[in-house]
Chains A and B, each alone.
Chain A
Amino acid sequence: MFCEKGNALLRATGLSKSFNGVPAVASVDLDLDIGESVGVIGPNGAGKSTLLGLLVGSLKADEGRLIMEGRDLTRMAVHRRVSAGIARAAQIPQTFGRLTVAENLRLPAVFGAGLHGAEAERWVEEVLEMCGLAELAGTDAEHLGLLSRKRLELAKAVAARPKVLLLDEVGAGLTEPEIEQIMELVRKLRDGRAVMWVEHIPFALRGVCERLVVMDKGAKILDGPFEEVWADPDLQAIYMGVPDDEVA
């Protein structure tokens, strides 16, 4: 047994991943708790998506451990981690083109959340409504535009009813009002779960997250209350040379 400080819902220790000998994530420790929403920022290539991939299991960690509610998930396959309660909306939407939007959500509702029959159906309806996709329920996903596809990717993750919801740039490429809709949605989703949101849009994270993680060159360099981290000189240093309007 190992000592745990507090009872973290999800605890990652020493997670590392290299591609062809180049480290993309280097020994990251991370705790996530229920009711928490954590923003993640960092320059392009900092390893944010790779970290989420390690948590959700689409990438295998070279080193480190992942414990959720006392269970070791380190070697667990993606589909079992979904049932255990981790789901991600990927940076590049992975939707089922030849299935309808509603069918796209039925899969995570049944195989992820473990719902059946009418219960699954009701939950799909609810997620459709919540994510603003109700009108598109019967449309094949391959006919969706970018905004709708991003919403569907988010909705798929939500439909799995995860305890840990990982969002990878779900707001990228959207207009400000659209991002505000997503912020509203994420706020609703916070209750009873941990949300970790990677985004290059600070105002979105600031409006939703009370905690901020900063990654650079594969390492987690800052982690703490949002405003504190935001004001940290190290953060400014990372973004030096990046035009102000991209940061703030």
Chain B
Amino acid sequence: MDRHMNLILLAGGFAAALAGAFVFEPGMLFLLTEVMVVLILAQMWNLLAGFGGQVSLGQQAFFGLGGYLLFLGANSTQIPLWVWLGVTPLIVGLLAVPLGLVVFHLKNAYFAVGMWVVAEILAAVFMRFDFLGGSAGIVLRPGGASMTMNPERLVFFIAAFGFVAIIVALRLFLKSTTGLALLGMRDSPDAASACGVDVRRMHLMVFVIAAMGCAAGGSLYYITTLYISAADAFQMNWLIVMMFVSIIGGLGTLTGPIIGTLLFIMIREAMTSAGFSGGTYWIVMGALAVVVLLLAPRGLWPLIRDFHFRKTGRVTR
């Protein structure tokens, strides 16, 4: 039953991603790729904070690194861009291991702020050094030559199918005993270690996976813009988006962040096309977050789900 569901998701996701890549025009593909990237980022922050209990305010560090490593790697070598797209998350994942071992010495709020500091330091470093792009940023020139193809169709396909694959992988993971240990740690890390669970290793694993996912998001996003700058790639807004959509939709659920993302994009697009300038939609998002957290502190999806299952008394995750 569950196995079938996962296969249906994968097959359906593949078909939809392929169809979308052919059907939509470039402007729409650009927007939809961003939607997929936000979905991936939200799912990663949700894994880290919602399931792993590690609230980080610095996930934009990995997003920015993902973009930069792709640009620097593709521009300065003859290795194809698409290979770099696959390699970048792995490199960032490797970097996240020693980083995690250091920042885990910080607890709770200190960890959250510590990660923010990491992101700010990275932004300063990339801003400062010209061989990293400096304050001018970098234009994507794979192998030193201008992009000859328009990448948005392929990028959209990879982002959309990648997102579905991530959802299926998370579903499988949460069903596994390792996933069960993670769910247990949400309730009590002490009780988990008393059951023999290596809580530190679990934290590190989740931290690395989230770093890889955010890096993949950064790579995908900046291929579509063809230009990256430290001010944009490491900005706090990326983090705020991940947090908002996860919290509004329902932290610690797989469906919640999807609902949150759709709301976010809809509000933003509606307000922008209605003529509101720049960041006005942030005010609406902020207000929405406050209202949701006051009325349904666990987020929208748990509210909907509980309403739906109240009659049967069935308990779900």
Partner of A82, one of B177, B183, B187, B195: B195
A193 lies within 8 A of chain B by Cβ: no
**Cα distance A46–B40 in the bound complex, in angstroms:** 53
Q: Mark A202-222, 1 if CB is under 8 A from B, else 0.
A: 000000000000000000000
B190 lies within 8 A of chain A by Cβ: yes
- Contact in complex: B183, A160 (CB < 8 Å): no
How many A-B pairs with Cβ below 8 Å?
Answer: 79
- Contact in complex: B187, A98 (CB < 8 Å): yes
CB of A17 to closest CB in B, whole Å: 17
- Contact in complex: B177, A106 (CB < 8 Å): yes
On chain B, which size bracket covers the interface? 20 to 34
Residue of A nearest to B177 (CB): A110
Q: Mark A100-117, 1 if CB is under 8 A from B, else 0.
A: 000110111011110000
Question: Which stretch from B116-124, B196-204, B227-235, B277-285 is at the chain A interface?
Answer: B196-204
B294 lies within 8 A of chain A by Cβ: no
- Contact in complex: B194, A111 (CB < 8 Å): no
- Contact in complex: A94, B180 (CB < 8 Å): no
Which of B181, B184, B198 is most buried by chain A, counting CB atoms within 10 A of its CB? Answer: B184
Question: Which stretch from A29-37, A83-91, A169-177 is at the chain B interface?
Answer: A83-91
Residue of B nearest to A120 (CB): B177
- Contact in complex: B190, A98 (CB < 8 Å): no
Which of A56, A78, A99, A120 is most buried by chain B, counting CB atoms within 10 A of its CB? Answer: A78
> A79 and B196 in contact (CB under 8 A), knowing A94-B188, A94-B190, A96-B191?
yes
What B residues does A156 contact at CB under 8 A? 191, 194-195
- Contact in complex: A111, B197 (CB < 8 Å): yes
CB of A51 to closest CB in B, whole Å: 16
**Cα distance A106–B192 in the bound complex, in angstroms:** 11
**Cα distance A162–B188 in the bound complex, in angstroms:** 21
Partner of A88, one of B181, B188, B194: B194
- Contact in complex: A95, B191 (CB < 8 Å): yes
Residue of A nearest to B185 (CB): A96
Residue of A nearest to B188 (CB): A94
A7 lies within 8 A of chain B by Cβ: no
A146 lies within 8 A of chain B by Cβ: no
- Contact in complex: A96, B184 (CB < 8 Å): yes
Q: Give the size of the chain A interface in residues (CB under 8 angstroms).
A: 30
A45 lies within 8 A of chain B by Cβ: no
Which of B177, B184, B195 is most buried by chain A, counting CB atoms within 10 A of its CB? Answer: B195
B146 lies within 8 A of chain A by Cβ: no
What B residues does A112 contact at CB under 8 A? 195-196
**Secondary structure dominating the interface of B:** helix
- Contact in complex: B184, A108 (CB < 8 Å): no
Q: Which of B261-317 contact A (CB under 8 A)?
A: 315, 317
Residue of B nearest to A89 (CB): B194
**Cα distance A111–B317 in the bound complex, in angstroms:** 22
What B residues does A94 contact at CB under 8 A? 188, 190-191, 194
Q: Which of B131-156 contact A (CB under 8 A)?
A: none
B237 lies within 8 A of chain A by Cβ: no
**Cα distance A96–B188 in the bound complex, in angstroms:** 7
- Contact in complex: B180, A107 (CB < 8 Å): yes
- Contact in complex: B196, A83 (CB < 8 Å): yes
Q: Which of B169-219 contact A (CB under 8 A)?
A: 177, 180-181, 183-184, 186-188, 190-199
**Cα distance A112–B317 in the bound complex, in angstroms:** 25
- Contact in complex: B193, A78 (CB < 8 Å): yes
What A residues does B180 contact at CB under 8 A? 99, 103, 106-107
- Contact in complex: B196, A160 (CB < 8 Å): yes
What B residues does A111 contact at CB under 8 A? 177, 181, 195-198
Which of A94, A120, A156, A160 is most buried by chain B, counting CB atoms within 10 A of its CB? Answer: A94
A13 lies within 8 A of chain B by Cβ: no
A192 lies within 8 A of chain B by Cβ: no
- Contact in complex: B196, A108 (CB < 8 Å): yes
> A98 and B183 in contact (CB under 8 A), knowing A106-B177, A110-B177, A140-B315?
yes
Which of A79, A99, A112, A113 is most buried by chain B, counting CB atoms within 10 A of its CB? Answer: A79
CB of A140 to closest CB in B, whole Å: 6
Partner of B196, one of A82, A88, A95: A82
CB of A52 to closest CB in B, whole Å: 11
What A residues does B194 contact at CB under 8 A? 56, 58, 78-79, 82, 87-88, 90, 94, 156
**Cα distance A127–B54 in the bound complex, in angstroms:** 33
Residue of A nearest to B315 (CB): A140
CB of B104 to closest CB in A, whole Å: 14
**A96-B192, A99-B184 given; 9 more Cβ-contact pairs under 8 Å:** A94-B188, A96-B187, A98-B183, A99-B183, A107-B195, A107-B197, A111-B195, A112-B195, A156-B194
| Chain A residues in the interface with B (C-beta under 8 A) | 56, 58, 77-80, 82-83, 87-88, 90, 94-99, 103-104, 106-108, 110-113, 120, 140, 156, 160
